[in-house]
Amino acid sequence: MLWVRAFHIIAMVAWFAGLFYLPRLFVYHAQAKDKTSLSRFKVMERRLYYGITWPAGILTTVLGLWLLTPLWSSYYQKAPWMHAKLGLVVLLWVFHLACGHFVKQFKHDKNTKSSRFYRIFNELPTLLLIGIVILVVVKPGF
Question: Would you list the domain boundaries of the chain?
Answer: 2-138
Share of the chain above pLDDT 90, in %: 96
Reduced to 3 states (helix: H, G, I; strand: E, B; else coil), residue 26 is: helix
Quote the pTM value: 0.95
* Tens digits of residue pLDDT in 12-67: 999 999 999 999 999 999 999 999 999 999 999 999 999 999 999 999 999 999 99
CA distances in angstroms from 52 to 22, 61, 119, listed in the order given: 10, 14, 21
